[in-house]
Structure formats: C-alpha cells, structure tokens
Amino acid sequence: MSISRPALEHLADRIEEVLARHRVPGQVQGGIVTPRLYQFHLATPVGVKVSKVTGLSEEIALALGCPDVRIYRANGAIHVEAARPKPIPVRLLPLCREARNVPAGTALLGLDAQGMPLFVRLPAPDVVHVLVAGTTGSGKTALARTLLASLAYFNAPERLRFILIDPKGRGFGPLAALPHALGGVVNTPEAGAERLAQVVGEMERRDRAGISAPLLVVAVDELADLLQTGGAAVESALTRLAQRGRQAGIHLVACTQKPTAALIGGAMKANFPVRLVGAVAGKDEARYATGLRDSGAEKLGGKGDFLLVAQGACTRFQAAWFGPDDLARMIHENECAWARQAPALATPRGAKTRKEKTP
C-alpha cells in the first residue's frame, strides 16, 4: 500500500514541531520511502549537536505514532527512520529474476534504504565471512536461508557447495534439497565437530594443491550453542577456517542470537568483517554485534529489518523472504541454467587463464 505525499508531509511537519518545541533548529529536507520504513532527512544549522536530536527519539516516535524511531548521522545529514504501519513484503525470487550480470559467489540480501537490491560478494577481500546476529524473531535464520538460496540461484552446483550445520535441525532443513548441499543437514554437536574437521582437512588439501574452487560455504545456525556443546575442537576448527579459509575458497556464514563479547571477541571478531545485525535486546548487544557505539540496532523492528555493517559503516535493509514454496520453484527454474554453466576448474592460485578469441 502506497502513502500519499500529503501524508508524508504531515509526518515531516510533526518532526519539525517536536524540534521547535524543544528549541532545536532543524528542517526536514526530503526523504525515502521503502517497503519497510519511512526515512526523513533532517538538516540542522552548523553547531547543533547531533545528541540533541537523538535525545528526542521518544518524543518524535510519539508524534509520529510509532513504537520507536532510529536517528543517526550519515552523509552530512541526520536521518530519522520510522517503521511503516503495514510493511510491504520483499520476496527473493522476483529480485533474483531481475538481477543481471551477477558475479560469482554473490548473494542477494534484500532491498536497501533506497529500495535498491543489496548484494554481498563472499570472495571479495573485505567480505570473506559473514556473521548474522539477532534475537528470536529478528529473522536471522530466514536471512541466512535467503543468502544461501540466492547464492545457489546464481551459481551452479559445480561452482558452489554448502555444508549445513544446524543444531536444531529446522532452520537450514529445507536447503538440503538443493543440489549444492553436501551430506544433508548436520544436527548434532559430535557430527558438527566431525564435519568441521573434514572441512579443515579440505582447506589444507587445497592449500597444498594451490586451488580454491569450487567455492565452499560452511553455514552454521546457532553458533553459540555449537561452540558451547562442541567444546574446544569446534572452536579451534572454526577459528582456523575463519583465519585461513579465504585463500582456499572456503567461507563461513554463522548465525547467533547471543552476540556477546566472549563469543565474537578476539580472533573470531577480527575474521568476520561483515555483520548482518537484526533486532537485539539492548545497547550492549548492539555494540557487540555491530562493533559500533551507536548503531541503533536495538531499535530495529524485527521480521527482516537488518543492518549490514562493513568497514565501520551501516546500511539498513529489508531482508528478502524465501518461503518453503519458493525452493521447488527455484530448483525447477534453474536446472537448465545450472547445466549451462561450465564446471569450475580447480585452477592453481596465481595461474593465468587463457582468453579465447571472439570471432
């Protein structure tokens, strides 16, 4: 359902009224409407403290008639974000069908604040491994499924393989039907430790042979539970893969609802440069999950409302939904496309490939 321009202008007037009432000079100058939220761009005179505006978040939320607002500074302006009363669903398959010339190893996450498709390319030097964090109901496991499904959509099984580790056995279960999945879903700590040890062995084999194909994505749901039940063996394997997996074409996608300093501290934190953070319980969890002081992750709305955190910057986005019925449809649509993709050759790293001449 769309919103009229007069209605948006009314909301902008309410924001300006709150600022004027508290003697904070500022004016709304444009904004963006996304399927999930309204974003207003607020211009203030030089010298006005940003903290004065952020300190009015409760008053602005009350004036707009919404549970909460997220206020932050970016690109030379202050942004006020409020959730739409009736969000418009974002579905993965239509976005994938419209995408063109997607590089290998790229996943489609959803729509950013400008309504544009948001991609993340795992082999990129500033990505490599991805941590997905958020409380129950934030949509973190659904986002991980979306990430993996979109990877499968754009990459044939010969070019991409999955290892699925899910202690609960429910989050990644549907993805076992993909031809990219190796060995079904691992759902016990003992089997998880054994499978991770096998992946470490594969990494060492690839290092000796100097190869990095096909891409191998190790997806872990409930990372905290796996670390607690799997013990030192699991922690050691995950740390080694996080530190050395990139050169061998091995990437981690890990989900957790407990983004504590103990879990994502030290070596683990340094090797997850990209975080996908949904709603968290409070400011401490938001700081641990994003690595930033005032990300506003504690004010996200849940149900696929996420921040992409990379290189110290936040991008808010609405995760695309990949439902149970979409899996069979995707497999049917892509069987021919996957067959047309040439198998990935195990090319030694650093070796030059010969370019064919075109007529």
Q: What is the mean pLDDT of residues 271-296?
A: 83
Asked if pLDDT for residue 200 goes beyond 90, the answer is yes
* Domains 5-83 and 92-338 belong to one CATH topology: no
Amino acid 32: pLDDT: 85
Alpha helices in the chain (DSSP H): 5-21, 50-54, 57-64, 92-98, 140-154, 189-209, 223-244, 266-270, 283-290, 324-340
- The vertex-288 CA angle with 282 and 292, nearest 5°, equals 95
For the chain, percent of residues with pLDDT exceeding 90: 42
Q: What is the mean pLDDT of residues 41-59?
A: 89
Label residue 136 by pLDDT band (50, 70, 90): confident
**pLDDT tens digits for range 165-176:** 998 777 898 899
Find residue 345's DSSP bridge partners.
Answer: none
225 compared with 149, residue with greater pLDDT = 149
For the domain covering 5-83, report its CATH number: 3.30.980.40
DSSP state of 299: G
What's the token pair of residue 210?
A: 């100097």
344 compared with 161, residue with greater pLDDT = 161
What's the token pair of residue 136?
A: 């129950």
CATH 3.40.50.300 fits 92-338, yes or no: yes
Amino acid 267: pLDDT: 52
Asked if pLDDT for residue 225 goes beyond 60, the answer is yes
Asked if pLDDT for residue 259 goes beyond 70, the answer is no
Other CB atoms within a 10 A radius of the CB of residue 261 amount to 12
Contact 259, 288 (CB under 8 A): yes
Q: Which of 166, 91, 78, 125 is nearest to 321 (CA)?
A: 91
Contact 214, 160 (CB under 8 A): yes
- What is the domain partition of the chain in residue ranges? 5-83, 92-338
Q: How far apart are CA 334 and CA 314, in angstroms?
A: 33
- Residue 263, CA distances (Å) to 52, 136, 192, 259 in order: 34, 17, 18, 6
Mean pLDDT of the chain: 84
Q: What is the largest CA-CA distance in the chain?
A: 71
**pLDDT tens digits for range 74-108:** 777 899 988 888 777 899 999 999 998 899 999 99
Collapsing DSSP states into helix, strand and coil, what is residue 35? coil
Amino acid 346: pLDDT: 42
Asked if pLDDT for residue 223 goes beyond 50, the answer is yes
Amino acid 195: pLDDT: 93
